[in-house]
Structure 1
């Protein structure tokens, strides 16, 4: 019998009606508690989800660059590094703390909440939630700006090729990278412009969700700037599982961006195009109405990796995972070349 390929986490679970996004920091000295939790994640998910089988509960766990070096010996995943700040002329893509990401999805919020509660009980005393967002399905998969979100997600085999690491980093095969950003919308400013202008900002029709023709779609529209084409002429794809969220008491309306990719550079190129511009200065018009207040990059190991984590690092300095203060403004990032 051949060696079984590692099983991925449920990254490609279908879009759901409810989600909780938890970004957590882990105290120094809490590493053993995290390592003890990782092999139990699958069992906790099954225990909670079994109570409502039709609820489709799924949990994806991501690990940040700094914590990865504290948890495991050996070199980290090839693409793992702290989220890079992008200082643009309109907005800045900020980098905020985050050691763990728990992306919880289900048909109903009670399942998400119960699993989130169980996870944080296990981490009690050694970790802190630094961002918690409860997302909800808004009509026919629309964001609070009124546009359908996630239309261009690949499916089937193409989805797996877009999000899962393969032979180029074999130790971390079946893993994925995920970038999250919490965007707040200026709804008053958005509603002050016409539907036709909103469509030019996004690059799609609002009602029918049809991409505008190339000769009509502005070069600074969101769709134009987030379409990444490699040197081979093929479009580089990611899987988004964005969700709307709101806090009425605070006047918050927003979109929680969450993008999965086999190569984080694909998402980073999209963000560079949005914030710095392509060409520089031609920035995404959606940033006139939406402001990111968080930004994190995580590696999502395979389920096999979580079930049997590699050894802890020996005492001493952790593996170098890069400069958290790295900023990209006037200098361009390395372009996607594959």
Structure 2
């Protein structure tokens, strides 16, 4: 399997999420940045090797065919909007995702600055979120986030594309959503009621027993199983963000998976219900305002991109080109100098 990007990582202390659209006619600039992004990351992380700076790059469906020739990832498609009876998951623009994370904010900031400097005029940033670690890996609702992430080989199997799409083995899919929280209403709930909304205890971070956990709790609706009853997992790298002066408090959801279908099923359960519950009750306090789906190619794909649309691959033989006057050049590679063809006698 090709070497993956760093989609499986321990929780970060700081993150920057950049979602951008590509300006028509500037695809070559974007391709140049994609091939150099690993070098930019190394140039920043070399100055602080203990900072664990990482950068994951995702590419959206609408941009893929503008940037690359050849095959597409089999399951890459636009984010599917969901409209439930009370809540909606919107689909919003996004051609590129840059997920920057580190133990320190300055490293994420510097790499984001260098990336945007290279992309100046070539993209429009449609969403920029600076996330931070909140106490012991909690979100702004006060609950530990990411507890059920798989580990070790289980995480690899859950996140990385394998033999089902060999051209993109080692890649992954990622869905991102930006949620804003109504903290005033949330904090007015007693802790016991908050626990029923989430499906876990707030202090000890343990899952509520099945006979106590409500069917519309977040945990209940986000537990997805296959036909054999085995739970299907994703890796969440969610981060809280906020602006107290602007009264904005939220969670940036980011879920990596081997197939987007797993995360999409979770979202269908949340917004459309699953027959037992009309929707995830957490949505009564958290509103999704963005939604994008990206493919995260293997690291080697970015270091050596396939040809751009309309370009020949490097090892593809060139077709005979017409010579001056509209005639095709001789197959022997000469320019036809000294040829008697067409000469007067």
TM-score, normalised with respect to structure 2: 0.89
Tell me the equivalent position of 2:322.
Answer: none
Tell me the equivalent position of 1:296.
Answer: 292
Tell me the equivalent position of 1:39.
Answer: 35
- Residues 254-291 of structure 1 show CA distances to partners (whole Å, capped at 9, x for unaligned) of 00000000000000000000000001752100000000
Tell me the equivalent position of 2:224.
Answer: 228
Pairing 1:127–2:123 present: yes
Q: Is the 8 A contact 1:136 1:245 kept in 2?
A: yes
- Structure 2: how far apart are the matches of 1:112 and 1:48? 9
- Structure 1: how far apart are the matches of 2:33 and 2:9? 22
Pairing 1:59–2:51 present: no
SS of 1:265 mapped into structure 2: helix
The runs of 5 or more residues in structure 2 that have no matched partner are: 312-345
Q: Is the 8 A contact 2:215 2:277 kept in 1?
A: no
1:239 positional shift: 0.1
Tell me the equivalent position of 2:243.
Answer: 247
The 4+ residue runs of structure 1 with deviation greater than 4 A are none
User: Of 118, 137, 159, which aligns to 1:163?
Assistant: 159
Tell me the equivalent position of 2:207.
Answer: 211
1:75 positional shift: 2.9
- Residues 86-122 of structure 1 show CA distances to partners (whole Å, capped at 9, x for unaligned) of 0011210001111100000000100000000000011
Q: Is the 8 A contact 2:75 2:259 kept in 1?
A: yes
Q: Is the 8 A contact 2:18 2:125 kept in 1?
A: yes
- Structure 1: how far apart are the matches of 2:182 and 2:300? 42
Pairing 1:312–2:308 present: yes
Q: Is the 8 A contact 1:89 1:281 kept in 2?
A: no
The runs of 5 or more residues in structure 1 that have no matched partner are: 316-338
SS of 1:148 mapped into structure 2: coil
Tell me the equivalent position of 1:277.
Answer: 273
The 5 A counterparts of 1:139-150 are 139-150=135-146
Pairing 1:101–2:97 present: yes
- CA 280–126 in structure 1, closer or farther in 2 if over 3 Å, else same: farther
Tell me the equivalent position of 1:259.
Answer: 255
- Structure 2: how far apart are the matches of 1:188 and 1:249? 14
Higher relative contact order (CA 8 A, sep 6+): 1
User: Of 190, 193, 198, which aligns to 2:189?
Assistant: 193
Q: Is the 8 A contact 1:229 1:236 kept in 2?
A: yes
Question: What is the aligned-residue RMSD (CA, Å)?
Answer: 1.0
1:126 positional shift: 1.0
- Structure 1: how far apart are the matches of 2:93 and 2:296? 17
Tell me the equivalent position of 2:67.
Answer: 71
Q: Is the 8 A contact 1:200 1:221 kept in 2?
A: yes
- Structure 2: how far apart are the matches of 1:250 and 1:25? 26
Q: Is the 8 A contact 2:84 2:271 kept in 1?
A: yes
Q: Is the 8 A contact 2:216 2:276 kept in 1?
A: no
Tell me the equivalent position of 1:330.
Answer: none
User: Of 23, 27, 32, which aligns to 1:27?
Assistant: 23
TM-score, normalised with respect to structure 1: 0.91
- Residues 137-186 of structure 1 show CA distances to partners (whole Å, capped at 9, x for unaligned) of 00000000000000000011111111000000000000000000000000
